[in-house]
Structure 1
Amino acid sequence: MKKLITVLLLSTFTFISCKDDEKTSQDPSKTTIKTFDNVKVAFGDGLSQSAEGTFSFPTNSENIKTIKMFIKDICPNKECDEWDRYANLYAKDKTTGEWYELGRFINPYWVGNEKLERGYEIDVTDFKSILSGSTELKIYTETWLAKGRKYTVEFDFEFGTPDYKYSAVVPVFQYNKSSIDGVPYGTAFDTNVFDLTKQINIPSGAEIAYLRTIISGWGHATPNDAGGRGCAEWCYRTHHININGTQTFAHDLKAIGCAQNPVNNQAPGNWKPDRAGWCPGMVVPARFDNIQKSMFGSTFNFEYKFEDWTNNNGNGNAFYAISTFVVVKSNSPINKATISN
């Protein structure tokens, strides 16, 4: 990503209100709802890096089998911000007012994702308790140019018998407002601001529970790994989740095949070399970790741990933008997991 030196952003938002959202599917077992329609996010000229809107989704969530989100990143004739920008889409929890990160992606160089029939596809079924009825959405891009990016976003709701009738989701933490709002890597940070240690209680009525994590690194800090790979964009690292002090889950932030990206018209642009767990013009993958059923109904300690490395501050900073959620499911009505410090 293009390195930022010093920027002060005063955020404003574009608001979109949609009372009668467009439904395009002709299949009675599925409904397609268009939300943002060719909406522009940008920096400068009175524009904003974010757009918000309120949209109407189905309310019978217990009969929803899957929800897929499709994001068209529209850039005809190279008219958009040409850099590989951090971007994501959120839905607001109606109870707490907190924004939940549904998915994250990185813009391709110079072009949009028109080579993908419906754009980026992200399974957001885990958030069906949030994506119900009148729902506020927000789309964000870390663009620093007035050219910005334009997006169209659709949701496919497939009806049928789900794996479990009821589900609930809650964030463990979210440090994901932008690439540089992530957790500093390789240096001391304020644990009151970035708290990677929590206590989690899974409802005893849950039949399955798991963690859903999205993480991407930014920065070119030294010392470099072999081949001049700076942290945290290029350096391959393994992160761990400790449960009750025991190393339990591993997240390998390594190559995911940037050169095989179907958005292969990114010219000019340094899109083929592998980053640490992400690529320009691709969705940042979600990582899933199943929680043992023996832990349901009791409180356990959670800690997210980065691999040891010391930033010598010789060439900028390193950050990990991260969000982790707990998803619980049951065939009986279920409450969210509870998270405490």
Structure 2
Amino acid sequence: MKKLLTLILLSSFTLISCKDDEKPDEEPSKITIKTFDNAKVAFGEGLSQSAEGTFNFPANLDDVKTIKMYIKDICLNKDCDEWDRYANLYAKDKTTGEWYELGRFINPYWVGNEKLERGYEIDVTDFKSLLSGSTELKIYTETWNAKGRKYSVEFDFEKGTPDYKYSAVVPVIQYNKSSIDGVPYGKEFDTNKFDLTRQINIPNDAEIAYFRTIISGWGHALPGTCAEWCVKTHNIKLNNTNTFQHKLEGIGCAKNPVDNQEPGNWKPDRAGWCPGMVVPVRFNNIQKSMFGTAFTFEYEFENWTDNGSNKEGAYYAISTFVVVKSNSPINKPTITN
């Protein structure tokens, strides 16, 4: 009887020990936040080319490694604007009220991007300092009919150790409200309206800094049907020295997985973009020797002259941001005209 009681007690202890050793539920490796849901943008009476909303993101992003944005471009039964339209998505800076371009994409012809499981994917980790707590977003499409486009957008906040603990981002230039609000190309333009020069001061305690640029060419001006179809190379000049080059050339339109855009003219390469694809981001690292001192920035287009035979003209829609990061608290860079 004594042996039997001992075995019962040992069994009970073992059962209790197993329960105590169980691991608590692990935290999810990512948090998905849904924002716009079938939001329609269109042109016409009572319609708008943009949609805005306020959404709640995680308040503390210390343990967030990356932030990915996914955009579903919805067009069922070809009930959308059939043309390849300029489109982008913004977040509002809570301090200044300025809209920051998170990403840019071009609608496909006739269809949506249903062939992509989650839609267009854009890494927006550089805008981490904006995407916390209550955040205002805006999505825009340069559509000119009542059919317009519909979008659903969500963000993945992926847990992990970030590359740097602190970061900040500020715009250097933004002429990106639409393709025709871009900088005129091939002729003189009003430098008060389109100023491509700035003075930049990066905090001395930054550990890394870089430019983040999105640029796409529009229009069919001659010669060369610029800026949509001609290959041009532009320069970022720092302290009047050509420092970085951006070549506006094809990015492989014919290989686009959104390959059901018939009868649209989606396969030929354009100046740095494709119908049904994200416009790529161009990154340029800034030398540490420039941190802590003011330097001049200028975005300079390759020389080309519009002969005036096509009234449509040529334009470059562009945004450039400067991103700084550090493992100690850091101030924003300062930008002056």
The answer to whether the superposition gives a TM-score over 0.5 is yes
Aligned twin of 2:53: 53
Choose the corresponding residue for 2:251, options 253, 256, 277. 256
Q: Is 1:284 the counterpart of 2:289 in the alignment? A: no
Aligned twin of 1:106: 106
Q: Is 1:304 the counterpart of 2:288 in the alignment? A: no
Judging by fraction of residues, say which structure has more helix: 2
Aligned twin of 1:213: 213
- Residue 282 of structure 1 aligns to a residue whose secondary structure is coil
How far is 1:27 from its partner?
6.7
**AA aligned opposite 2:293:** S
Q: Is 1:335 the counterpart of 2:331 in the alignment? A: yes
Aligned twin of 1:14: none
How far is 1:313 from its partner?
1.1
Which whole-Å CA distance do the structure 1 matches of 2:308 and 2:82 have between them? 28
Aligned twin of 1:187: 187
- Residue 219 of structure 1 aligns to a residue whose secondary structure is strand
Choose the corresponding residue for 2:227, options 221, 224, 232. 232
Which whole-Å CA distance do the structure 2 matches of 1:62 and 1:221 have between them? 48
Aligned twin of 2:172: 172
Aligned twin of 2:118: 118
Which whole-Å CA distance do the structure 2 matches of 1:27 and 1:308 have between them? 55
**AA aligned opposite 1:199:** Q
Aligned twin of 1:157: 157
Which whole-Å CA distance do the structure 1 matches of 2:328 and 2:60 have between them? 15
Aligned twin of 2:12: none
Give the TM-score taking structure 2 as reference length. Answer: 0.91
- Residue 203 of structure 2 aligns to a residue whose secondary structure is coil
Which whole-Å CA distance do the structure 2 matches of 1:330 and 1:30 have between them? 23
How far is 1:160 from its partner?
1.2
**AA aligned opposite 1:322:** I
- Residue 259 of structure 1 aligns to a residue whose secondary structure is helix
**AA aligned opposite 1:331:** N
Which whole-Å CA distance do the structure 2 matches of 1:61 and 1:157 have between them? 8
Aligned twin of 1:7: none
**AA aligned opposite 1:262:** P
Aligned twin of 2:319: 323
**AA aligned opposite 2:178:** S
**AA aligned opposite 1:99:** W
Residues 247-302 of structure 1: CA deviation (Å, up to 9, x unaligned): 00000110100000000000110000000100000000000000001110110010
How far is 1:133 from its partner?
0.5
- Residue 61 of structure 1 aligns to a residue whose secondary structure is coil
Q: Is 1:90 the counterpart of 2:90 in the alignment? A: yes
CA RMSD in angstroms comes to: 0.9
How far is 1:205 from its partner?
1.1
- Residue 126 of structure 1 aligns to a residue whose secondary structure is helix
- Residue 105 of structure 1 aligns to a residue whose secondary structure is strand
Aligned twin of 2:141: 141
Residues 50-78 of structure 1: CA deviation (Å, up to 9, x unaligned): 00000011121222100000000000110
Which whole-Å CA distance do the structure 2 matches of 1:52 and 1:35 have between them? 10
Aligned twin of 2:7: none
Query: Which structure 2 segments of 5+ residues have no match?
Result: 1-25
**AA aligned opposite 2:142:** E
Q: Is 1:44 the counterpart of 2:40 in the alignment? A: no
| Identity %, equivalent residues | 81
**AA aligned opposite 2:313:** N
Moved over 3 A (4+): none
**AA aligned opposite 2:89:** L
- More divergent stretch after superposition (174-183 vs 44-53): 44-53
Which whole-Å CA distance do the structure 1 matches of 2:309 and 2:276 have between them? 29
Aligned twin of 2:34: 34
Give the TM-score taking structure 1 as reference length. Answer: 0.90
Query: Which structure 1 segments of 5+ residues have no match?
Result: 1-25, 225-229
- Residue 164 of structure 1 aligns to a residue whose secondary structure is coil
Question: Matched residue pairs, number?
Answer: 311
Structure (1 or 2) with the larger CA radius of gyration: 2
Residues 184-221 of structure 1: CA deviation (Å, up to 9, x unaligned): 00000011111101100000110000000000010000
